Chain A
Amino acid sequence: MIPSLASRHSWFEATARKRIAGLLDPGSFTEILPPAASTPSPHLAKLDLPGAFDDGIVIGCGQLEKQPIFIAAQEGQFIGGAVGEIHGAKLVGLLKRAVREKPAAVLLLIDSGGVRLHEANAGLIAISEIMRAVLATRAAGVPVLALIGGSCGAFGGMGIVAKLCSAILISEEGRLALSGPEVIETVAGVEEFDSKDRALVWRVTGGKHRYLMGDCAMLVEDDVSAFRAAATAFLADWQEPAPSVGLLRATQRQLENRLTAYGAYRDGLQIWAALGVTNPESVPLLDRDSLVALKEGLPT
C-alpha cells in the first residue's frame, strides 16, 4: 500500500482530544477543567438535550517542542462545535490566564459553525468575550494561532475570532468564512449560492482559496503531524508588531481594495484567474506542495 497513506492521521477526522494529543509533545498536556471536573451546559439540559461533560471544548497547557503552550480544541462532532456559555467561558478563561502567565503561544484548534443557537444570547456574549480576550492576549505579547482543518471549519463568530488571531494555519479541507454556505443559500436563494455544490463551497471558503487570498499564513496537509510541524515552524519565525490603529487602517484599505478587485466575482475560479493563475481549473486537484509553489510564483 502507499506508505504515506498508511501512516497518516487525518486532522479532519480526529476528535479534539486526538488533535491535542498529536499536536503537543507526547505526555505534556495537562487539561484544565477535565470532564470529571467540568459541568455540562445547563441550557441544553433545560431544552431536554444531553450535554457533553466538557461542553465541546478541551482546554489546557502543554509543550510544543519544549516551549510552554496553552491550547484549546473545539469538538466539531458535538453540536457542530458551536459556542455555548460554558464552552465560551472555558476559552476566555484560558486566554485570560495566558495574559497573566505568558506562554510561548496560545493555539486555538477551531472546528465550529459559530454561536450555539440553543444558548442564544449567552452564546453571542461568549463570542464577543472571546474576541476581546484574543486581542488582549496578543496585546500582552502572546501570539494566538488559529488552526483550522476540522469538518465544521470556522464559521460565524468563530470565523471572526480566527481572523482576530495572529495568524491562521489551514488545511485544504478547512473552511473559513462568516456566513456558512447553508445560511447564504437560505437567506439569498440557491441561485446566489448552491450549498450542495461542495466543490463550489470549497472554491469559495476552503483552505486553498483562503491561502491564495492571503487570509492564512500557511497551507498544511490534512495530517496531525503536519499541523504540529507547521505550528512549530511558524512560531520559530514569529514576530508581530503590537496591534495599533495604523495597522488596522492598513488592513481596512487592503480589504477595500480586495472588494473592488474581486467583489463582482461569483466563484474562486474567477478570482484565481484574476490573481494570475494560468490554469485555475487545476487548483482544486493540486497537492499542497504544488499549490504553495504556485502561490509563491504569482505576481504580487
Chain B
Amino acid sequence: MNAPLPRQWDSLRQNRGRRLERAASLGLAGKNGKEIPVDRIIDLLEAVIQPGDRVCLEGNNQKQADFLSESLADCSPERINHLSMVQSVLALPSHVDLFERGLANRLDFSFSGPQGARLAKLVQEQRIEIGAIHTYLELFGRYFMDLTPNVALIAAQAADAEGNLYLGPNTEDTPAIVEATAFKGGIVIAQVNERLDKLPRVDVPADWVDFTVLAPKPNYIEPLFTRDPAQITEVQVLMAMMAIKGIYAEYGVTRLNHGIGFDTAAIELLLPTYAADLGLKGKICTHWALNPHPTLIPAIESGFVESVHCFGSEVGMDAYISARSDVFFTGADGSMRSNRAFSQTAGLYACDMFIGSTLQMDMAGNSSTATLGRITGFGGAPNMGSDPHGRRHASPAWLKAGREAYGPNAIRGRKLVVQMVETFREHMAPVFVEELDAWKLQKSMGAELPPIMIYGDDVSHIVTEEGIANLLLCRSPEEREQAIRGVAGFTPVGMARDKAMVENLRDRGIIRRPEDLGIDPRMATRDLLAARSVKDLVRWSGGLYAPPSRFRNW
C-alpha cells in the first residue's frame, strides 16, 4: 500500500508567488515592486486575478475604489471569469457591469442602494447568483472565515514609494479587507489619489500591499450623510421633541447611534435648544457611534457631545473634524481615522440606543426599507438596530429598559431600538401595513428570507406624530399589535385599532400622546431648530464646515 501523499501546507503562498511572477514577467514590478503605471492596470489585473477567484472590490456608501472597479470591468472575460465578488456595497454602474459582461457570476454583499433595480433584474434573469445579503459586521466576519478574498482592490488617499498607504479620514472598510487578504495569501492592489514622499501617517504598512496605482482622478465619495436643515418639517420637529422628552430623557441615553434620515437630524438640531432647555446637557447624547453628520455641529459646539467615533467621514467635514480632535478620533497628523468595523462593533455592543427610520412596519413591529423590484440590503442598520444578547456590561439606560421588558428581577438589560416614522410618507403611502412588501419581494427573488431590516422583537419603541408606543411594556402579542395600531394614525391599520384596548394601553403609559408628555404640537415649529439651513451649520462651525455645492444657496 502506498504511503499517503504528503500534504502541501503552503499552497496559498506558492499560488501567490506564481501570480506575482506573472506580473513581474510583464514588467509589472515597478521600481519598488509596488508602483504600477496607470496605463498597465488591465495587464496587472489580468495577470494576478484567476478565473474563479474571490475578489473584494472596496467600496462603501461613501468611499469607492471606482477606478479599479472600472478597470476590472474592462478586463477580458476570456481571461477573467467566474469571479465571486465579496464586497460591502454594490453602488457603482461598473460593479454591475462585472456581471453583465460575464466576468463575475456570484455576489456576497451588504448593500446596493442605487443599483438595486439592476441587481434585481440580473437575479431574475439568473445571471447572478447571490450568496447572501449580510450586515457589514457579518460580511467582515466572513472575510476571516469562509469568504477570504484572493484579491482585494482598495482605495487609499496616498501612497509613498515603498507602498505604505495613507487612507485619510475615509478609512472605512480598508483595514478589515486588507488584513483578511494580506494574511491569507491574497493580493492587495490600491488605487491612490496621490503619491507622496512622506505620508501624513501610515494607515496600512507597505508589507501588506502588493501594488499601487495612481488613479486618473480622486476616488469618488458620496456626501450621503448631509441633511439640509431647511427640509426638516414641523412634524419631524414634533416627533423629535417627543423622542427627546419621552425616551432620551427618561432612560438617560448617553451612548447612541442615529440613523441618517431627517427625523434624527431634527433630534440633533434640537439638542442645543429644546433638550438644553429641559436641562439635559451632559445627561444625554454624550458618546456617539456616528458618521460626522453636519447637523451634529450645533450640539458639538454647544458642549453636548464628548466623543464621536465614525464609520467613515463626510464630504466637507474634514477641517471641522481636525479642529475638534477632542471629540473625533484623529491621528497625530490631525486628520480623522474612521473605521467601519470598530464603529459597527461600538454600535452593536457599546450603544444603549439606536434610533432610525423605515419605509414600512407591520403589526409585529418588523420593519423594512426594501421595495418591490429592488434588492438593496441594509448595510449596518440591522447590527445597530438589534438587542445584542452577548452584552454583559450594565448601564442605567440598559438596565431600565431590561426591567421594563423582563420585570424587576431581570437578569439582563435591554438595548433601546427606536423606530421613528411619520405615519404616512410622501404621496400618502402608509408606513404601517398589514404585510410588508418584503414578503412579496422574497417570493419574486426566490430568497430564503424576507428582507427585514429590523425584527419586531428587537424594537423597543415606536415614535410617530400620534405618540410613542413602548413595546417593552407590552405583555402579549395582542397588546403589542394594539400598541402599534395605537400610534399608526389615520393609516388603514391605525384606523382598525381596538379603541378600548388602545385607551387602556394609554392609561398604563404604554402609549403616550404628545399631551401626555406635556408637549403642545403647535409649539413644534422650525424656530426650535438650532440651525435652519446649511449656512447656519457653516456659521456654527466657525466657517470650518465646507458644504458641497449642491447644498448651498449662497
**Interface flag for A13 (CB, 8 Å):** yes
Find out whether the CB atom of A2 lies under 8 angstroms from the CB atom of B554.
no
Please state if B553 and A12 are interface contacts (CB–CB under 8 Å). Answer: yes
A208 at the B interface (CB under 8 A): yes
Chain A window 28-70, contacts with chain B (Cβ cutoff 8 Å), 1 for yes, 0 for no:
0000000000000000000000000000000000000000000
| Alpha-carbon distance between A10 and B531 when the two chains are bound, in angstroms | 11
Tally of A interface residues using CB under 8 Å: 23
Query: If the complex has contacts A1-B273, A5-B530, are A13 and B553 also in contact, measured as CB distance less than 8 A?
Result: no
A158-206 residues at the B interface, CB under 8 angstroms: 172-173, 196-200, 202, 206
Contact (Cβ within 8 A) B539 A2: yes
| Listed stretches B119-127, B255-263, B494-502, B544-552; interface member | B544-552
How far apart are B55's CB and chain A's nearest CB, in angstroms? 34
Cβ of A266 to closest chain B Cβ, rounded Å: 16
Q: B549 near A5 (CB under 8 angstroms)? A: no
Task: Verify B552–A202 contact, CB threshold 8 A.
Answer: yes
Given A5-B539, A5-B540, A285-B543: A13 touches B551 (CB 8 Å cut-off): no
Number of interface residues of B (CB under 8 A): 25
List the A side residues contacting B536 at CB < 8 Å: 5
Give the CA-CA distance A181 to B539 in the complex, in Å: 27
Q: Is A280 an interface residue (CB 8 A)?
A: no
Give Cα A9 to B536, complex, Å. 12
Tell me if A103 counts as interface (CB < 8 A to partner B): no
Does the CB pair A197–B554 fall under 8 Å? no
User: Cβ of A245 < 8 Å from any Cβ of B?
Assistant: no
Complexed CA–CA distance, A2 and B554 (Å): 21
Q: How far is the CA of A197 from the CA of B540 in the complex (A)?
A: 24
> Is there contact, CB below 8 Å, between A10 and B533?
yes
Contacting pair B533 A12 (CB below 8 A): yes
Bound CA span A10–B301, Å? 21
A233 an interface residue at 8 Å Cβ cutoff?
Answer: no
Q: Tell whether, in the assembled complex, residue B530 and residue A200 are in contact, meaning their CB atoms are under 8 Å apart.
A: no
State the Cβ distance, A159 to closest chain B Cβ, in Å.
17
Cross-chain contact A198 with B273 (CB below 8 angstroms): no
Instruction: Provide the bound-state CA to CA distance between A285 and B542, in Å.
Output: 11
B274 vs chain A, min Cβ distance (A): 11
Check if B552 sits within 8 Å of A13, measured CB to CB. Answer: no
In contact, A197 and B539 (Cβ under 8 angstroms): no
CB-nearest residue of chain A to B526: A13
Which residues of chain A are within 8 angstroms of B294 by Cβ–Cβ distance?
A: none
Q: Among the listed A2, A202, A208, which residue makes an inter-chain contact with B540, where contact means beta carbons less than 8 Å apart?
A: A2
Q: Which residues of B contact A13 (CB under 8 A)?
A: 230, 526, 532-533
User: Is B444 interfacial (CB 8 A cutoff)?
Assistant: no
The reply to whether B530 and A198 contact each other, CB–CB distance below 8 Å, is no
**Could you say which of A6, A151, A199, A208 contacts B552, with CB atoms under 8 Å apart?**
A199
| Distance, CA A9 to CA B526, complexed state (A) | 10
- For window 521-544 of chain B, which residues contact chain A by CB distance below 8 Å? 526-527, 530-533, 535-536, 538-540, 543
Say if the beta carbon of A80 comes within 8 Å of chain B: no
CA A57 to CA B532, docked complex, whole Å: 25
| A10 neighbours in B (Cβ, 8 Å) | 532-533
Complex contacts, B551 vs chain A, CB 8 Å: 198
B471 to chain A, nearest CB (A): 34
Interfacial chain B residues near A284, Cβ < 8 Å:
552, 554
Evaluate contact between A173 and B230: CB separation under 8 angstroms.
no
Q: Which residues in B have their C-beta under 8 angstroms from that of A1?
A: 272-273, 276, 298, 301-302, 530
A200 CA / B552 CA spacing, docked (Å): 10
C-alpha gap A206/B554 in the complex (Å): 7
Whole-angstrom distance from the CB of A210 to the nearest CB of chain B?
Answer: 12
Cβ of B553: which chain A residues have Cβ within 8 Å of it? 12, 151, 173, 198, 202
192-235 of chain A: CB within 8 A of chain B: 196-200, 202, 206-208, 222
- What residues of chain A lie closer than 8 Å to B298, measured between beta carbons? 1
Give the residues in chain A near B550, CB-CB below 8 Å: 196-198
Distance of A10 Cα from B553 Cα, bound (Å): 13
A13–B534 alpha-carbon span in the complex (Å): 13
In the complex, what residues of B have CB within 8 A of residue A206's CB? 554
Please give me the residue from chain B that is nearest to A196 by CB atom.
Answer: B550
Contacts of A199 in B (CB 8 A): 549, 552
In Å, the complex CA distance between A13 and B233 comes to 12
Bound Cα distance A5, B536 (Å): 8
Q: List 20 A-B contacts (CB under 8 A).
A: A2-B539, A2-B540, A5-B540, A6-B530, A10-B533, A12-B533, A13-B230, A13-B526, A13-B533, A196-B550, A197-B550, A198-B549, A198-B550, A199-B549, A199-B552, A200-B549, A202-B554, A206-B554, A207-B554, A284-B554
Identify the B interface with A (CB < 8 A): 230, 272-273, 276, 298, 301-302, 526-527, 530-533, 535-536, 538-540, 543, 549-554
